[in-house]
Structure 1
Amino acid sequence: MRSGARLLQLLRPYSFLFTAAILATVLASVLDGFTIALLIPFLRTLFGQQALGPAGGSAVQAVLARLTGALITAGAPQAALRNVVVILLVALVLKNAAEYAAAYWNVVIQESVVRDLRLRLFRHLQLLPLGYFQRTKVGQSIARLIYDTDAVKMAVSAALASLLQNSVMIVVYLAILVGLSLRLTLVALLFAPVLLFVIRPLISRLRRRSSELVTERGELTSHVSEMMSSVKLVRAYVAEAFELSRFKALADRYRKRVLRAQRFSSLTSPVTEVFGGMMIVGILWYGTLLALGDRPAMRPEELITFLVVALRLMSPVKSVSNYPAVMAGALASAGRVYEVLDLTPDEGDRPGETTAQFHERIEYRRVSFAYADEAEVLRDVELEVRRGQVVAVVGPSGAGKTTLVDLLPRFYEPTAGALFMDGVPITRYTRRSLRALMGIVSQETILLNDTVFANIAYGRTDFTLDQVRAAAAAANAEDFIARLPEAYQTVLGERGTRLSGGQRQRIAIARAVLRDPPILILDEATSQLDTESERLVQDAIDRLMRHRTVFVIAHRLATVQHADRIVVLHEGRIVECGSHADLLAADGLYRRLYNLQFRT
């Protein structure tokens, strides 16, 4: 389905408000036409004639006579003139009230549609496979979520104001023009097909330029996001000038795209204006012939009213002619949004999935895995872990250690084989319930720009301060948190930049302690800490590991010597498995890695 049709579906929940806005626009347009038509009795009365003239006048006069009756025809001219002015003022007040209602309801609809689309996109992004985020720049996702969805507002605005509402105004004005003079209206309409013929190629080019523009905007956003997250690296390598030149190149490219698109977008309004001017000249020429001939087909006041209506018609016609230009950019952005929404999610619950439970063992049965279009990272892995065991996973860089444990919470799905929990394939469990069984502490601690309390209780609102404090104490974090300016209400800054590496890691451990999970995954949790921080973190980890099933990934073999079992991975395969003493005695890969780290 095309983006335009899909955008219209977003209006469905607001169909009542949408209808009300259209009706308010119709009312405003009719009242606007009515106030203009009142020029006829006003001018006739002003120049000493009967307000609506004798029978046989235009259809507009007949409608006015039916609506106003004796109010503007009976009595002295001064009274008739006064009544015309009063009716005009009342109509103007009602017209502007209707316009206000339509404008406000339009904004409500626009903002509601954009909010709904953002929520839908955000929800969908959360369900996409991790591979999507590995191959997609962060800035591109931000651009889609913020800028492209905001551009959709322009499409909704164009659909409401430029197309439907202005079309209603055009119909009302054309009805008045036809009521005043059918022949003069036909002369005015002769310019419409010529205008369409001229504008069509402009719109075609504008669509292509708009598509290029939104893509370039995403690249610009991506670069800014990347630079802001790497500001320490930039300064460390004195690369400010280099980054500025990169940004300038992208900004220049974006500017060129904008100018190319604007070159065609800006043409629609003046082209419409020129043809509108030609139409007015045609009306003046032919209208004069009709009004001043030997047998006049129009009265002068009707010609003046016709001209006023024709001039008022120019504004909605210009808006409608700009509609394709506005929609070109909006639909290009909408296309980028739906490009993501059309991706197949791999998260979320599926029919038949149940709540995960863990009592006895976890098994990897002939498990293999490869990232998209890449060589296998894991090959035919067989592993059984009993409840309460501590299993260390070691091996050279790139051996597949992190990938092995990432399969357990179903961050990825095996390309062959399967994982089982108590003999049940984990694919039969909902991801939410499966992950609720696990606490994960990784090398790269992720903290939010929020309070200490919110970071420890992340994702839950039912934890009390006492529970959070107990978790922090178990993680050796209570002392340094107490020294923070506002203790547990201290905001940590983006990514926890106000804390040291060891402090951030202890916050992450407290987060895991608070959930009291039966399964714990420690991925290089102490690899980048100084000696004192490592001691505090390791002490917290030792307490956290008690009575839990633990997977420990480590390069430092000193941290895994007391594991119940050590699994040695090499090129995606398990090449050794046993206790520390057994593996040293086997004189295999583990012994070589151990000797490399501890030789003197």
Structure 2
Amino acid sequence: MTKETGKAFDTRLFKRLLAHTKPYRLTFYGVALAAILLSGFAVLGPYILQKIVDDAIITPNGEKLLQLSLLMLGALLAQVVCQLLFDYYANWLGESVIQDVRVNLFKHMLGFRMKYFDNSSLGVLVTRSVSDMQRIGEIFSQGFFMIVADLLKMLAAAIMMVYLNWKLSLIVFALLPIIIYATRLFQKAMKVAFIEVRAQVANLNSFVQERVTGMKIVQLFTREKIESDNFREINEKHQNAWLTTVWYNSIFFPIAEIVTSVAVGLVVWYGGLQNVANITVDISGTIFAFILYIEILFRPLRQIADKFNTLQMGMVAANRVFKILDTDSNIQDVGTIEKDNVNGNIEFSDVRFSYVDGEEVLHGISFDVKAGETIAIVGATGAGKSTIINLLNRFYEIDSGVILVDGVDIKDFKLASLRAQIAVVLQDVFLFADTIANNISLKDPAITLESIEHAAKQIGVHEFISSLPGGYGYNVKERGTMLSSGQRQLIAFLRAYVSNPSILVLDEATSSVDTYSEQLIQRATDKITEGRTSIVIAHRLHTVKKADKILVMDAGKIVETGTHKELLKKNGYYSKLYEAQFLAEEVV
């Protein structure tokens, strides 16, 4: 994996980027050809000018002047056409490459374990997927091909200068090492500076993303001034990172301008002396041509430094994106079993799991659920209830033990097939900025609007949805902010209901809803759990009285098992939980 150092150019990383241009080889070669033609036409103009001055002006020749002028016009028009084609298709190629890389990156992230997202900043991932991608595109649109075109122009200009007058060429070439050395130092310094810039951009994006998302907490706890001060500090680091690049530019470009001006002055001075002293034939046209060739020779060096900045920023961005693409955090989807539905027999056998190595969360959990049964899992916060659901869906891999569905290890199922059998309603409902219908169907073409409305009527939420502006076409905005928590919960429940799962999981699904919404959900629960294996994770114990079996968890272990009545008779952990909750509700 490429390290982020001050190395001016990383060949291995660049080769990896070039591999993404293979589907667009014709365009790639076309842009390369345009760059070659562009350099040819660029150096043709000054040569024609030299001929005009020497052969048509100093020695007056009107007919030749017209011919050479038309030839120069043709060369300029050809240069314009080549420049247009070069600019358009270089940018087209860059956009096509970043489209492919972005799709690959997003597809790769879709398969990551939840552990990766637990340990990653949302703002950083957004930066990698959006702004870093644009930097990669600029490698082709404004970096690599521009540099190649400039180098070709410089080579062609140098050849023409030697051809016209080797003595004047030596004067110009003597100054080249100065600007080349300055450019080299500039490139190395800018590479380090741009690494810092990208790091600060990611930090800034991450900070803003989190604070905007958690704005309610910021305001509730009156942290506006604190967060403002924190943002000022982060923004200052971002500013300083950019100012470092500005400082390097402020040093380099004046040096480049001075060297260019000195070269022009020396050529005019030496060429003029040759003419005055009559040492050589009149070289007035050659001096004119050299002034233009010096610009063609030196200006690309200045521009190459600027384009190299773009190239380096793109390389830094590519390095960060490839780090994510190289991350092996995917659930191993090597199963071969694919089923349209399962009976719903579930068995956990001596399952151990830890989110962090060495810090076990589940300590040898074992239980079984028969097809069609409804079991409840209760316990204090942090007991490991939701972890069981995460493992059943293979969001995380267990440390040891085995989880079976219909007697088959869940690792032997195709991941998509396994998850298609399980519908989960979470306490913290996530809705996309889309219509209610799309949030329910998740744009599954197999789930029609008619089936959604039919399901909504069955569980009693059709009236609520119909009362909203636009009904099922109502846009709930980002994270469903236009709906109450109870309404969001009902939408999530309907989402699970229409998927017709073999296994239903309700993870604290009624803990944040009002009494009326809870009654609707309870009604739907009774209907949807008929003939289905259901797992209900609940904090409010009165919601699990009807469960066929209740698992009581504490500190990652199952401490009691039985029905509601059986557990109350034991006068154990469950009984104490129930009494404490009952007394609390009585006080309220």
**Class of the TM-score when normalised by the shorter of the 2 chains:** over 0.9
Deviation at 1:233, TM superposition (A): 2.1
1:26 aligns with 2:36: yes
- Give secondary structure in 2 for the equivalent of 1:334: helix
Deviation at 1:598, TM superposition (A): 1.6
Quick check: 1:475–1:507 contact (8 Å CA) kept in 2? no
- Give secondary structure in 2 for the equivalent of 1:287: helix
Structure 2 unaligned segments of length 5 or more: list them.
Answer: 3-12
The corresponding residue for 1:67 is none
Quick check: 1:388–1:550 contact (8 Å CA) kept in 2? yes
The corresponding residue for 2:178 is 194
Q: Match for 2:564: what amino acid? A: H
Distance in 2 between residues matched to 1:315 and 1:170, nearest whole Å: 9
- Give secondary structure in 1 for the equivalent of 2:536: strand
Distance in 1 between residues matched to 2:282 and 2:32, nearest whole Å: 33
Quick check: 1:457–1:511 contact (8 Å CA) kept in 2? yes
1:443 aligns with 2:427: yes
1:8 aligns with 2:13: no
1:572 aligns with 2:582: no
Change (3 A) 1:293 1:19: farther
The corresponding residue for 2:509 is 525
The corresponding residue for 1:466 is 450
Aligned pair count reads 573
Deviation at 1:374, TM superposition (A): 5.0
Change (3 A) 1:321 1:297: farther
Structure 1 unaligned segments of length 5 or more: list them.
Answer: 51-76
Quick check: 2:350–2:400 contact (8 Å CA) kept in 1? yes
Deviation at 1:541, TM superposition (A): 2.1
Distance in 1 between residues matched to 2:360 and 2:568, nearest whole Å: 28
| Of 303-312 and 526-535, the range deviating more from structure 2 | 303-312
| Of 29-38 and 127-136, the range deviating more from structure 2 | 29-38
Which residue of 70, 77, 81 corresponds with 1:97?
81
- Give secondary structure in 1 for the equivalent of 2:228: helix
1:487 aligns with 2:471: yes
Distance in 2 between residues matched to 1:393 and 1:508, nearest whole Å: 20
Distance in 2 between residues matched to 1:103 and 1:246, nearest whole Å: 42
1:217 aligns with 2:227: no
The corresponding residue for 2:336 is 353
Distance in 2 between residues matched to 1:279 and 1:462, nearest whole Å: 73
Q: Match for 2:225: what amino acid? A: A
Distance in 2 between residues matched to 1:425 and 1:522, nearest whole Å: 23
Listed one character per residue, the Cα deviations across residues 250-295 of structure 1 (whole Å, up to 9, x for unaligned) are 1112111211232124433222222222222332233334555544
Distance in 2 between residues matched to 1:315 and 1:48, nearest whole Å: 29
- Give secondary structure in 2 for the equivalent of 1:550: strand
Distance in 2 between residues matched to 1:142 and 1:99, nearest whole Å: 34
Change (3 A) 1:107 1:327: closer
Quick check: 1:353–1:427 contact (8 Å CA) kept in 2? no
- Give secondary structure in 2 for the equivalent of 1:528: coil
Quick check: 2:336–2:412 contact (8 Å CA) kept in 1? yes
Change (3 A) 1:6 1:298: farther
Q: Match for 1:355: what amino acid? A: E
The corresponding residue for 1:418 is 402
Which residue of 25, 40, 50 corresponds with 1:40?
50
Quick check: 1:391–1:567 contact (8 Å CA) kept in 2? yes
The corresponding residue for 2:93 is 109
Quick check: 2:144–2:311 contact (8 Å CA) kept in 1? no
Quick check: 1:127–1:348 contact (8 Å CA) kept in 2? no
Quick check: 1:437–1:519 contact (8 Å CA) kept in 2? yes
Listed one character per residue, the Cα deviations across residues 84-114 of structure 1 (whole Å, up to 9, x for unaligned) are 2222222222221111011100110111122
Change (3 A) 1:540 1:82: same
Listed one character per residue, the Cα deviations across residues 104-130 of structure 1 (whole Å, up to 9, x for unaligned) are 001101111222222122112112211
The corresponding residue for 1:64 is none
Listed one character per residue, the Cα deviations across residues 280-321 of structure 1 (whole Å, up to 9, x for unaligned) are 233223333455554417632122212222223332221113
User: How high is the TM-score relative to the length of structure 2?
Assistant: 0.93
Deviation at 1:413, TM superposition (A): 0.8
Change (3 A) 1:579 1:437: same
Quick check: 2:183–2:301 contact (8 Å CA) kept in 1? no
Change (3 A) 1:468 1:290: farther
Pairwise CA RMSD of aligned residues?
2.0
1:260 aligns with 2:270: no
Deviation at 1:217, TM superposition (A): 1.2
Distance in 2 between residues matched to 1:172 and 1:535, nearest whole Å: 82
The corresponding residue for 2:107 is 123
Distance in 1 between residues matched to 2:338 and 2:383, nearest whole Å: 32
Quick check: 1:408–1:419 contact (8 Å CA) kept in 2? yes
Quick check: 1:474–1:510 contact (8 Å CA) kept in 2? no
- Give secondary structure in 2 for the equivalent of 1:13: helix
User: How high is the TM-score relative to the length of structure 1?
Assistant: 0.91
Which residue of 138, 144, 151 corresponds with 2:128?
144
Q: Match for 1:375: what amino acid? A: E
Quick check: 1:377–1:572 contact (8 Å CA) kept in 2? yes
- Give secondary structure in 1 for the equivalent of 2:337: coil
Distance in 1 between residues matched to 2:104 and 2:78, nearest whole Å: 39
Distance in 1 between residues matched to 2:309 and 2:71, nearest whole Å: 39
Change (3 A) 1:33 1:200: closer
- Give secondary structure in 2 for the equivalent of 1:371: strand
Deviation at 1:443, TM superposition (A): 0.4
The corresponding residue for 2:290 is 306
Deviation at 1:462, TM superposition (A): 3.3
1:153-192 alignment runs, 5 A limit: 153-192=137-176
| Of 325-334 and 161-170, the range deviating more from structure 2 | 325-334
1:49 aligns with 2:49: no
Listed one character per residue, the Cα deviations across residues 19-43 of structure 1 (whole Å, up to 9, x for unaligned) are 1112112212212222221113322
Quick check: 1:207–1:329 contact (8 Å CA) kept in 2? yes
1:506 aligns with 2:516: no
1:44-83 alignment runs, 5 A limit: 44-47=54-57, 49=59, 77-83=61-67
Deviation at 1:383, TM superposition (A): 1.1
Which residue of 130, 135, 138 corresponds with 2:119?
135
Distance in 2 between residues matched to 1:334 and 1:266, nearest whole Å: 27
Quick check: 1:166–1:316 contact (8 Å CA) kept in 2? yes
Quick check: 1:129–1:346 contact (8 Å CA) kept in 2? yes
Distance in 1 between residues matched to 2:95 and 2:577, nearest whole Å: 60
Q: Match for 1:40: what amino acid? A: Q
Quick check: 1:272–1:321 contact (8 Å CA) kept in 2? no
Q: Match for 2:33: what amino acid? A: L
Distance in 1 between residues matched to 2:575 and 2:325, nearest whole Å: 50
Distance in 2 between residues matched to 1:273 and 1:239, nearest whole Å: 50
Change (3 A) 1:192 1:48: closer
The corresponding residue for 2:192 is 208
Quick check: 1:439–1:519 contact (8 Å CA) kept in 2? yes
- Give secondary structure in 2 for the equivalent of 1:445: coil
Listed one character per residue, the Cα deviations across residues 190-249 of structure 1 (whole Å, up to 9, x for unaligned) are 222222333433333322222122111111111111111112222323332332222112
Change (3 A) 1:411 1:467: same
Which residue of 266, 272, 293 corresponds with 1:288?
272
1:589 aligns with 2:576: no
Quick check: 1:269–1:322 contact (8 Å CA) kept in 2? no
The corresponding residue for 1:455 is 439
Distance in 2 between residues matched to 1:104 and 1:197, nearest whole Å: 32
Distance in 1 between residues matched to 2:273 and 2:442, nearest whole Å: 80
Quick check: 2:56–2:64 contact (8 Å CA) kept in 1? no
Deviation at 1:554, TM superposition (A): 0.3
The corresponding residue for 1:340 is 324
The corresponding residue for 1:72 is none
Quick check: 1:502–1:537 contact (8 Å CA) kept in 2? no
Deviation at 1:459, TM superposition (A): 4.3
- Give secondary structure in 1 for the equivalent of 2:469: coil
